[in-house]
Amino acid sequence: MSRRLFNKSLVLSAIALACGVASAQTVPIKFQLDWRFEGPSALFLVPQANGYFKDANLDVTVDAGNGSGGAVTRVASGSYDLGFADLAALMEFNANNPDAPNKPIAIMMVYNNTPASVMALKKSGIKTPADLSGKKFGAPVFDAGRRAFPIFAKANKISNVTWTAMDPTLRETMLVRGDIDAITGFTFTSLLNIEARGVPASDVVVLQYPDYGVKLYGNAIIASPKFLKENPAAVKAFLKAFTKGVKDVIADPAKAIETVKAKDGIINSELETRRLKLAIDTVINSPDAHREGFGQINAPRLALMASQVSDAFNTKNRVSVDSSWNGSFLPTAKELDILPKIK
């Protein structure tokens, strides 16, 4: 073999070896959603479908969930590396399980405002929070809006309400049927579910918590401290790729829903596009998110939420802000500048 061919062979071998090393460095990430595959899950499915995770040497698996509480406990158990969950649920778990070896922590705010609302039919005569005292409420026991209702009630001087617990699939049905006066739920979930039961949105009263003195944060990306310690570069790459995907979702929600349809072929694409748009408008591209920046938090506001959750959820220990939030893995401010102007 000539010296020239020998040197060329060495170069090709080095390239092949480098490619093998890059492949070996791909980090697998198990991601737990808070709920089943619906409109908002496109936020995580789009960066996966568009190859943003793969380009960052991440092999991300996104699984459907059954509630924020489940997402928190699965990340805490180590079954999942990252997840998507209501920040209040994370705070409650950590405060009630101070000795847990792997307490999850929020690393990126996605729903800058809680999506929780009180909803009632206009024919009930309920128009404002002041009309809710003495009324019959319904919601699953684990519903985020129900758990945080004491904060809403205190802010609006509501008293003497009674609760009926039910499976999530029955909540809106019982409201439409007149079995209860009002429900709590995520706006973009329950409002569309009420419509699906034959009641137009124009006949529904929606009292969104953020509009009535409750400035709780909503869902955040949460992480296992063990995974953060062992894979800091991968976590930063995940959040950067996710942010890029969210920008795509906001730009074209209808196209984004195609990724959800690929996961669950029985979804109603038109309905889920509306659900996604409603989520974007109410809790992602909100005035508070513009003030604080996508993905970020306001420290005094977070501290107030920690205190409110401690009181409303009657936690075993007071909620610690330090064990609730770690923003050191976030992309740069320039990379996070993805929110369009509010129309």
For residues 230 and 312, state if they share a domain.
yes
* Residue 298 maps to a domain: yes
Taking only the tens place, the pLDDT of each residue in 205-235 is: 999 999 999 999 999 999 999 999 999 999 9
Closest CA to 183 of 159, 207, 213: 207
Domain count, the chain: 2
Taking only the tens place, the pLDDT of each residue in 131-174 is: 999 999 999 998 999 999 999 999 999 999 999 999 999 999 99
Is 291 or 343 the better-scoring residue by pLDDT?
Answer: 291
Indicate whether 251 pLDDT > 90.
Answer: yes
For residues 198 and 261, state if they share a domain.
no
Average pLDDT over residues 292-307: 97
Quick check: 181 and 137 in contact, CB under 8 A?
A: yes
Average pLDDT over residues 116-123: 98
Taking only the tens place, the pLDDT of each residue in 172-183 is: 999 999 999 999
Domain limit, last residue, from 212, 242, 257: 212
Closest CA to 338 of 220, 242, 255: 242
Residue 10: its pLDDT value, please? 52
- Domain membership of residue 48 as a residue range: 25-112+217-336
For residues 243 and 295, state if they share a domain.
yes
For residues 134 and 207, state if they share a domain.
yes
* Residue 4 maps to a domain: no
For residues 133 and 152, state if they share a domain.
yes
Domain with residue 242: its CATH number is 3.40.190.10
88: alpha, beta or left? (left if phi > 0; alpha if psi -120 to 50): alpha
Average pLDDT over residues 113-117: 97
Average pLDDT over residues 285-291: 96
* Residue 16 maps to a domain: no
For residues 332 and 221, state if they share a domain.
yes
Residue 21: its pLDDT value, please? 43
Is 299 or 13 the better-scoring residue by pLDDT?
Answer: 299
* Residue 65 maps to a domain: yes
For residues 173 and 267, state if they share a domain.
no
Query: Which pair of structure tokens corresponds to residue 277?
Result: 């748009």
Residue 229: its pLDDT value, please? 97
For residues 87 and 167, state if they share a domain.
no
Taking only the tens place, the pLDDT of each residue in 129-142 is: 999 999 999 999 98
Quick check: 136 and 177 in contact, CB under 8 A?
A: no
SS (H, E, C) the chain: CCHHHHHHHHHHHHHHHHHHHHHHCCEEEEEECCCCCCHHHHHHHHHHHCCHHHHCCEEEEEECCCCHHHHHHHHHHCCCCEEEEEHHHHHHHHHHCCCCCCCCEEEEECCCCCCEEEEEEHHHCCCCHHHCCCCEEECCCCCHHHHCHHHHHHHHCCCCCEEECCCHHHHHHHHHHCCCCEEEEEHHHHHHHHHHCCCCHHHEEEEEHHHHCCCCCCEEEEECHHHHHHCHHHHHHHHHHHHHHHHHHHHCHHHHHHHHHHHCCCCCHHHHHHHHHHHHHHHHCCHHHHHHCCECCCHHHHHHHHHHHHHHCCCCCCCCCCCCECCCCCCCHHHHCCCCCCC
Average pLDDT over residues 78-99: 97
Per-residue pLDDT band at 342 (split at 50, 70, 90): confident
* Residue 1 maps to a domain: no
Average pLDDT over residues 266-275: 95
* Residue 197 maps to a domain: yes
For residues 326 and 222, state if they share a domain.
yes
Query: Which pair of structure tokens corresponds to residue 332?
Result: 């740069």
Average pLDDT over residues 310-324: 96
* Residue 250 maps to a domain: yes
For residues 222 and 102, state if they share a domain.
yes
For residues 135 and 221, state if they share a domain.
no
Domain limit, last residue, from 157, 182, 212: 212
Which of 2-6, 212-216, 273-277 has the weakest average pLDDT? 2-6
Average pLDDT over residues 278-299: 97
Average pLDDT over residues 39-62: 98
- What is the C-alpha radius of gyration for the chain, rounded to an integer number of angstroms? 22
Domain limit, last residue, from 212, 231, 250: 212
Residue 128: its pLDDT value, please? 98
Residue 343: its pLDDT value, please? 75
Average pLDDT over residues 39-48: 98
Quick check: 229 and 102 in contact, CB under 8 A?
A: no
Is 4 or 119 the better-scoring residue by pLDDT?
Answer: 119
For residues 202 and 126, state if they share a domain.
yes
| Type of residue numbered 240 | K
Per-residue pLDDT band at 32 (split at 50, 70, 90): very high
* Residue 192 maps to a domain: yes
